Chains A and B, each alone.
Chain A
């Protein structure tokens, strides 16, 4: 498993060619405007085809890497933030930062816009919730970038829904990651744009 290339769409195992399970969950009642637009075409289009295409476009929006989200979360740890600053100020010195058992909870809100002759018919907002459980992790930093990680056991679960209704759900599965992942492209660590979360008791212990 190539963590650098692993996308959220991969995690849900929904190939763009046929996200059938997701499409099945899309109820036409919620999308009357789209149905009407599709049916008024010279060659009317069935709802099943519309929803399949909508699901496919939504999966396109999820072609974002899991690693990007994880790094964004790790940066909210005070321990990582401090090590990142040290690494940036001492580019010649390698640093390592240990994160104890933790979870990364991610919410993504992809949307699909349906247009009829360039006019917006409806925007459909999806909710993607994911949790990545990581038993332990060592981040190896150089010049303010993550050059490699040594993850412990990782497990992942997630769901895709609309208006609180789950369309697809993936229960806890183990991510088969190698013990030491050296990144082909080091990931620069920049200070998060929002204030870092208050460090927890466990984080404080990590910072010792």
Chain B
């Protein structure tokens, strides 16, 4: 006969095992926590992509998707924005914008919701990473040298672009029904008719986008009205003064456009007017230099490159629209000093035989062809020269060549140098990795 208590225990065990079996077969539900091998994967996308480039203030929608159905309310989602900030949400869709331009590496952690039971780990699953490149929006500002002009006057415009992408071209619409003009960031335009004209510039960028400036209104009046208006104000302006004077800028004579050299310019105003105030921007800095007492103007550039010298002439009184004139200029590096030169090329015995002396070159570029005929001719016509040391210097563009000569039927030897690359190795390393160079 069986022990009743044992029968009860066996029955209880069957019930418990049966319950456990049922629990194991239970489909995914609110409190179903599969083992780590069986967990569903969490995928994050931003606007349906795994990488995105956008501008500050632009909205982006992040979507989370599980590889298997996961009941709602089981998880909260912690968005790690990659800049040290976090946002916790309960929905699988979240939209936001970014106010700071930078690259955001976004990752989402799924955490058990506060109500979830059996939660054994803080982070249940982590999503893939989505990169968001956030850029400041491009903008362009159009600034005229004057917003008022007399018909026939030339107005100078300066477009200032602030964009992460270089400009391909600037298209100016002067608002006076003349065709748009394509050009660089600076342009001049004569206004022939009277009226208020909204001028604007559209800049086409390398990434095939474009940005347009806010319109700036240029008010153009007739010369007669302007003169009447001026005389009405007792400014003493006559109709002769309505004629626009011409400002010109040119490089001074004997200027060497190289770094470290004084670059002088000649500023000329035709017809000559009294009470003219000049300002100059040399193009290598933001400052305008006052030239009232420093004519003739000059400047020293410290770095080679292309610059635009901008001269502004203001007539005061009466205050008329300032005149502006620009002068593009290319500054080169000076030829290397003598100490930096080294005689790479020595001349052969044949040349020595012709002129009867030792000859060697100090050439900046070994491949530069050198015309020796003037030198040889000088030797042949002046026997004294052949008995002495002397130096022959000539220039080609900005390169300075120097030939030294001295007596002596010495033979010539030549040193040359060549360069190349033995090997290169480029290795990509992600944070946390270490590598050794080969």
Within B149-178, which residues are at the interface with A (CB < 8 Å)?
164-166
Binary flags per residue of B411-438, CB closer than 8 Å to A gives 1, else 0: 1111111111111111111111101011
Binary flags per residue of A145-173, CB closer than 8 Å to B gives 1, else 0: 00010101100000000000000000000
Contact status B344-A53, CB under 8 Å: yes
B-side contacts of A73, CB under 8 Å: 426-428
B-side contacts of A121, CB under 8 Å: 415
Contact status A100-B105, CB under 8 Å: yes
Q: Taking CB as reference atom, which chain A residue is nearest B207?
A: A180
Contact status B421-A180, CB under 8 Å: no
Contact status A104-B415, CB under 8 Å: no
A82 interfacial contact with B, CB 8 Å: no
B339 interfacial contact with A, CB 8 Å: yes
A70 interfacial contact with B, CB 8 Å: yes
A174 interfacial contact with B, CB 8 Å: no
B-side contacts of A76, CB under 8 Å: 426-428
Given contacts A42-B411, A77-B428, contact A178 B164 (CB under 8 A): yes
B343 interfacial contact with A, CB 8 Å: yes
Q: Taking CB as reference atom, which chain A residue is nearest B414?
A: A117
Expressed in whole angstroms, the Cα–Cα distance for A114 and B336 within the complex equals 22
Contact status B164-A115, CB under 8 Å: no
Contact status A178-B166, CB under 8 Å: yes
Contact status A202-B415, CB under 8 Å: no
A7 interfacial contact with B, CB 8 Å: no
A-side contacts of B200, CB under 8 Å: none
Contact status A180-B427, CB under 8 Å: no
B354 interfacial contact with A, CB 8 Å: no
Instruction: Give the interface SS of chain A, mostly helix, strand, loop or mixed.
Output: mixed
How many B residues are at the interface, by size bracket?
Answer: 35 or more
Expressed in whole angstroms, the Cα–Cα distance for A150 and B423 within the complex equals 29
Binary flags per residue of A77-114, CB closer than 8 Å to B gives 1, else 0: 10000000000000000001111111111111111111
B-side contacts of A208, CB under 8 Å: 43, 128-129
Contact status A138-B419, CB under 8 Å: no
Contact status B417-A104, CB under 8 Å: no
Min C-beta distance of B335 to chain A, whole Å: 8
Min C-beta distance of A163 to chain B, whole Å: 14
User: Taking each of B53, B135, B208, B424, which has the highest tally of chain A beta carbons within 10 Å of its own beta carbon?
Assistant: B424
Contact status B418-A180, CB under 8 Å: no
B342 interfacial contact with A, CB 8 Å: yes
Min C-beta distance of A115 to chain B, whole Å: 5
Expressed in whole angstroms, the Cα–Cα distance for A103 and B420 within the complex equals 26
Within B379-425, which residues are at the interface with A (CB < 8 Å)?
404, 408, 410-425
Contact status B129-A206, CB under 8 Å: yes
Q: Taking CB as reference atom, which chain A residue is nearest B399?
A: A17
8 Å CB contact of B358 from A43, A97, A105: A43
Expressed in whole angstroms, the Cα–Cα distance for A40 and B404 within the complex equals 18
B276 interfacial contact with A, CB 8 Å: no
Q: Taking CB as reference atom, which chain B residue is nearest A201?
A: B432
Expressed in whole angstroms, the Cα–Cα distance for A138 and B166 within the complex equals 18
Within A14-48, which residues are at the interface with B (CB < 8 Å)?
15, 17-18, 20, 37-38, 40-43, 45, 48
Expressed in whole angstroms, the Cα–Cα distance for A201 and B133 within the complex equals 22
Binary flags per residue of B115-136, CB closer than 8 Å to A gives 1, else 0: 0000000000000111101010
Contact status A58-B419, CB under 8 Å: yes
B-side contacts of A197, CB under 8 Å: 427-428, 435
B-side contacts of A103, CB under 8 Å: 428-429
Given contacts A50-B342, A153-B103, A179-B133, contact A112 B427 (CB under 8 A): no
Q: Taking CB as reference atom, which chain A residue is nearest B138?
A: A179
Min C-beta distance of A179 to chain B, whole Å: 3
Min C-beta distance of A58 to chain B, whole Å: 6
Expressed in whole angstroms, the Cα–Cα distance for A41 and B164 within the complex equals 55
Q: Taking CB as reference atom, which chain B residue is nearest A208?
A: B128
B340 interfacial contact with A, CB 8 Å: yes
A-side contacts of B412, CB under 8 Å: 42
Please, could you name 19 A-B residue pairs with CB atoms under 8 Å apart, sorted by A?
Answer: A17-B340, A43-B360, A43-B404, A61-B421, A98-B131, A103-B429, A104-B428, A107-B438, A109-B422, A109-B423, A110-B422, A113-B420, A117-B414, A118-B416, A129-B437, A182-B206, A197-B435, A200-B430, A200-B433
Other contacts beyond A104-B428, A148-B207: 10, CB < 8 A: A42-B413, A100-B430, A104-B429, A105-B427, A111-B422, A135-B102, A179-B133, A180-B164, A197-B427, A200-B432
